Structure 1
Amino acid sequence: MYSIALRFAEKFAPPEGTIGAHQKIIDEKGFVWYGKMGSVVSDANITKVLDQSNPKILLIHSGGVERYWAYINAVKKEKPDDEEFPQYYRHISDNFKTWFCITKIERAEKGIMSKCIVSSSKALLSEASKHSMSPYFLIECE
């Protein structure tokens, strides 16, 4: 199964945190857009993920131990409507180049990063993420 691993930080997040802020909108609307800052995720990688039977991305808390699977049903490059993503990053939303439409978030199993490999290098995600400044990883997980 292909997926994309993204790091997130709590630097600008509200008290309920990044995951909590996104979950609140899922609870209200049934979905939320999650913005990825910086470089664009390639169309080829987006297609690999969306072609899966149950597409999802792995959200990795930078500096923390939390890992989450976010189930997605769409990806786009244009900014969504403001009310479809958390308010705390609306003022910087123009910096987000890829948007993932998340329909469900669940905590990933402990040790998930040691069970995924980076497609390009075949290294374990747990090792690659320590030594790489890559903005995202295309990963393979069972």
Structure 2
Amino acid sequence: MRTVALRFAENFAPDCGTIAAHRELIEQTGHVWYGKLGGPVSYKTAGEILDDDDPRILLIHSGGQDRWWAHVEKIQRETPPIDEIPSYYRNSAEDFGCWFKVVEFEPADRSVMSQCVVASSGRVLSSASRHSMSPYFIIDYAAK
């Protein structure tokens, strides 16, 4: 499966945390939009993600051990309806270059990073992410 791994931090998140804040909106509306700061993923990569039987992206907590699969049903560059974005980053919605419509968050297996290969380098994600400041990686995931 081809997808992306995105780093996330808790710098601006509410006390409940990034994932919990997003889950609250899923409970209310059935989905939430998760924003990627900076440039968007390419249309090609977005298409590859959405073509999978179970489209999802991997979220990696920077400096932490949490890894989450975010199951997505849409990827877009346009800012979604503001009430479908967690309140803590509604005021900075224009800073996000790409949006993922998430319908579920699922904890990823502890070994997920060793099961992902970075498409551009062929390196295992667990190694590549330690030696790179990149906010995201295009990865190929093969569950063991």
The interval holding the TM-score normalised by the smaller chain is over 0.9
Match in the other structure for 1:115: 115
Match in the other structure for 1:69: 69
> Displacement, 1:130?
1.1
Match in the other structure for 1:46: 46
Q: Is there any run of 5+ residues in structure 2 with no aligned partner, and where?
A: none
AA matched with 1:66: D
What CA deviation, in whole Å up to 9, does each residue of 1:78-130 have, x standing for no partner? 10111101000011111000000000001000121011101111100001111
Q: Secondary structure at the match of 2:102?
A: strand
How many pairs does the alignment contain? 142
Q: Secondary structure at the match of 2:14?
A: coil
AA matched with 2:16: E
Match in the other structure for 1:56: 56
What is the aligned-residue RMSD (CA, Å)? 0.7
Match in the other structure for 2:128: 128
Following the alignment from structure 2 to structure 1, what is the Cα–Cα distance between the partners of residues 91 and 130?
30
AA matched with 1:21: A
Following the alignment from structure 1 to structure 2, what is the Cα–Cα distance between the partners of residues 40 and 105?
21
Identity within the alignment, %: 49
Which TM-score applies when normalising by structure 2?
0.96
Match in the other structure for 1:140: 140
What CA deviation, in whole Å up to 9, does each residue of 1:20-77 have, x standing for no partner? 0000000111100000001211111111111111100000000100000000000000
Following the alignment from structure 2 to structure 1, what is the Cα–Cα distance between the partners of residues 71 and 120?
23
1:30-45 superposed matches below 5 A = 30-45=30-45
The runs of at least 4 aligned residues of structure 1 exceeding 6 Å deviation read none
Following the alignment from structure 1 to structure 2, what is the Cα–Cα distance between the partners of residues 135 and 46?
16
> Displacement, 1:136?
1.3
Q: Is there any run of 5+ residues in structure 1 with no aligned partner, and where?
A: none
